[in-house]
Structure 1
Amino acid sequence: MKNWWIKTACLLTGWNYQILRTCTEASRKQLKKYASAILILIILWAFIGYSFAERYVNAPWWACLIVSVIFVVIIVQIERQIILTIGKNRGLAIFRFIIAFIMAILGSAILDQTIFKDDIEKKMVQIVDRQVNEQLPNRLTIIDKKLQELQTEIDSLDKKNLELYEEISKRPTITTVSTSVTHSKVKQADGSIITLPQRTVSTTPISNPKAKEAEINNNHLEELRKQKEEYSLKKIQTEGSLREELKSKQGFLEELNAILEILIEKPIALVFYSILFVFLMSLELFVVVSKVGDEKSDYDLIVGHQLEQKKLTLNHLKTKEQPPNAFS
């Protein structure tokens, strides 16, 4: 069981298990300290990654697990940059401090959006009300303009139809005149037969064509009145539809803005956020502080000694392979 834990710790930190086997208990304790710090960060950022994917990406549970694993891998690789550094690299430690500051801000923001969920929902109601009051007049103006255009067109057609019906009432029918020519044979006095044309004029009463035009206008009026009713209903439902639209499009930035307003309005929330931020910042800097503050273990000394020996060997080989000076 002990070897299993040591091997797992080596896997997390990147230490060489074969070298560690020859080291003292001090190196094993240092390894366990590094591994414990990484495990704390793994648990924390696995939860943060899962919550982020579930809340803001709306991913299924298996996709949330994948995001959680990605967050964990990133954290482990970042910590290895410090742990596997030979000696003390203060530049790298400062850079890790900057990363820790950024990660603490992101982590505390995501955790706060989970912890303050109910407060954020209440604040989002106020924010949505404010956005509705800002955007509703513009939408109502557009709908009123369309209703005015439809009413103008309806009034114009109504007026035209009144004129048509007045004309139709005066002349319900109109008379059409048609002329036809027929030829008939006429016998002359001398006994010859000639063909003479005969013109026939006939009148036929028909319905006034204006009635058809009025019928077409009535159909168009029916469509216009239907559109007007739809826009009138849309005007009544504008506030509700706008509110639902704003609620459905709430994302990470909107909730972050809600948290900011909560922190400004409620000092106790600001105190809690500060405590959470400092806590996460401290967790992120666990490994850095341990690496910078601790003395070198025999594992570090062995690795450093191997590096120095390798350098000496390479320098010796380089000296031997260097050709003699021709002018010596």
Structure 2
Amino acid sequence: MKDWWIKLGCYLTGYNYSIVKSSSEASAKAVKKFTSALLIISMVWCFIGFEFTSRYLHGNALVSSIGAIIMVVVVIQIERQIILTIGKNSSVKRFRIIIGIVMAIIGSVIIDQVMFKDDIERERITVDQIKVNKAMAIKTKEIDDQIMQLDSSIARKERERMKMIAEIGKNPTITTYNTQTQAKTDDKGKMVTVGKTTTSQSIPNPKIEMLAQLDDQIKTLRTAKTAKENSLLTIRATVEKDIKNNKPFLEELSILFRILVSSPIAFIVWALIFTFFFSIELFVLYCKFGDDKNDYDRTILHQMQIRMQMIDKLNP
């Protein structure tokens, strides 16, 4: 089990297992310390990656798990920059402190959004209500304009219908005339007209069929108007549902900021969480540069010096 733990530590930290195995117990303990620190940081950022993907990227359990794994891999690669550094490199330390501050802020903010979820939701009620009222004003105006256009079309069709009914009342039937020409061939072989016969016929006014079509158009317009009026009754619930399901990251950040500013207790909690995250982020840095060089580091340096000497001898 002990050997397995060291193998896992070498895999995570990037240490060479064969060199660690042949080194002293101090090197093995250093690997164990780095492994423990990496596992602590990885578990914390695994949770943060899962929550961020699920909450703001709207991922399902599988996608959120992938987001958590990606976050863990990124964190481990960042920590390796410190662990695999040989010697006291002040530039690396400064850079890692800057990254630690940024990551501590991001981590503490996301954790606070989970911890202060109920407080954020209460604040969101007021924010959402304002957004609903603005959206309602716009959407209601659009539907009112459409209803007015439908009313205008219905009124125009109604006037046209009344006019058509009056015309049909005056002339329920119309008379059509059919003229037939009689002709014969003269002595020269030409056709000449010898007479015309005109017949008359009474038929129903064609506007009666047009009236039926007009009634169908009016019925369709009234159905559309009723649908628009019914949509006014349900539009608020629809808008509230859409806004409630949409949780922008920046909006929740602004709500959280207002909570932290207005509540000293909330600010203290955030400060404690930030300190905790910042300490975790610098844990590996402290483990690396807080102790003296072990024989693993010296072995790496020795191998490098021997290799450089060999290269120098090859170059006259």
Q: Same fold (TM over 0.5)?
A: yes
Matched, 1:230 2:223: no
Matched, 1:306 2:303: yes
Question: Does the 8 Å CA contact 1:88/1:291 hold for their aligned counterparts?
Answer: no
Residue 14 of structure 2 aligns with which residue?
14
Deviation, structure 1 residue 132: 0.8
Deviation, structure 1 residue 288: 1.2
Rounded Cα–Cα distance in structure 2 between residues aligned with 1:201 and 1:266: 101
Query: After superposition, where does 1:181-192 map in structure 2 within 5 Å?
Result: 181=181
User: SS at 1:21's partner residue?
Assistant: helix
Task: Report the TM-score when normalising by structure 2.
Answer: 0.89
Query: After superposition, where does 1:289-328 map in structure 2 within 5 Å?
Result: 289-318=286-315, 322=316
Stretch of structure 1 that moved more, 104-113 or 282-291: 104-113
Matched, 1:266 2:263: yes
Stretch of structure 1 that moved more, 77-86 or 249-258: 249-258
Rounded Cα–Cα distance in structure 1 between residues aligned with 2:160 and 2:15: 92
Q: Percent identity over the alignment? A: 38
Alignment deviations for residues 29-74 of structure 1 (CA, whole Å, 9 cap, x no partner): 3222222111111111122222223333343433333322222222
Name the larger-Rg structure. Answer: 1
Rounded Cα–Cα distance in structure 2 between residues aligned with 1:93 and 1:288: 7
Deviation, structure 1 residue 183: 8.2
Assess, with a 3 A threshold, how the Cα gap between structure 1 residues 206 and 16 changes in structure 2: closer, same or farther. same
Residue 130 of structure 1 aligns with which residue?
130
Amino acid at match of 1:141: K
Residue 188 of structure 1 aligns with which residue?
none
Residue 112 of structure 2 aligns with which residue?
112
Q: Which runs of 5+ in 2 are unaligned?
A: 185-192
Residue 165 of structure 1 aligns with which residue?
165
Amino acid at match of 2:5: W
Residue 243 of structure 1 aligns with which residue?
240
Task: Report the TM-score when normalising by structure 1.
Answer: 0.86
The alignment of Structure 1 onto Structure 2 pairs a total of residues equal to 309
Query: After superposition, where does 1:3-82 map in structure 2 within 5 Å?
Result: 3-82=3-82
Rounded Cα–Cα distance in structure 2 between residues aligned with 1:183 and 1:39: 113
Rounded Cα–Cα distance in structure 1 between residues aligned with 2:7 and 2:210: 93
Rounded Cα–Cα distance in structure 2 between residues aligned with 1:105 and 1:263: 14
Residue 277 of structure 1 aligns with which residue?
274
Question: Does the 8 Å CA contact 1:46/1:68 hold for their aligned counterparts?
Answer: yes
Amino acid at match of 1:153: S
Rounded Cα–Cα distance in structure 2 between residues aligned with 1:178 and 1:6: 112
Matched, 1:153 2:142: no
Matched, 1:221 2:218: yes
Amino acid at match of 2:219: E
Deviation, structure 1 residue 197: 5.2
User: SS at 2:250's partner residue?
Assistant: helix
User: SS at 2:23's partner residue?
Assistant: coil
Amino acid at match of 2:15: W
Rounded Cα–Cα distance in structure 2 between residues aligned with 1:215 and 1:60: 55
Deviation, structure 1 residue 181: 5.0
Rounded Cα–Cα distance in structure 1 between residues aligned with 2:229 and 2:118: 36
Rounded Cα–Cα distance in structure 2 between residues aligned with 1:237 and 1:65: 37
Alignment deviations for residues 90-111 of structure 1 (CA, whole Å, 9 cap, x no partner): 1111111222222222222222
Question: Does the 8 Å CA contact 1:53/1:67 hold for their aligned counterparts?
Answer: yes
Rounded Cα–Cα distance in structure 2 between residues aligned with 1:272 and 1:87: 37
Amino acid at match of 1:108: S
Q: Which runs of 5+ in 1 are unaligned?
A: 185-195, 323-328
Stretch of structure 1 that moved more, 129-138 or 208-217: 208-217
Rounded Cα–Cα distance in structure 2 between residues aligned with 1:245 and 1:152: 32
Rounded Cα–Cα distance in structure 2 between residues aligned with 1:265 and 1:152: 53
Stretch of structure 1 that moved more, 120-129 or 271-280: 120-129
Stretch of structure 1 that moved more, 245-254 or 88-97: 245-254
User: SS at 1:204's partner residue?
Assistant: strand
Question: Does the 8 Å CA contact 1:176/1:206 hold for their aligned counterparts?
Answer: yes
Deviation, structure 1 residue 309: 2.5
Show structure 1 runs of 4+ deviating over 4 A.
Answer: 181-184, 196-199
Stretch of structure 1 that moved more, 214-223 or 53-62: 53-62
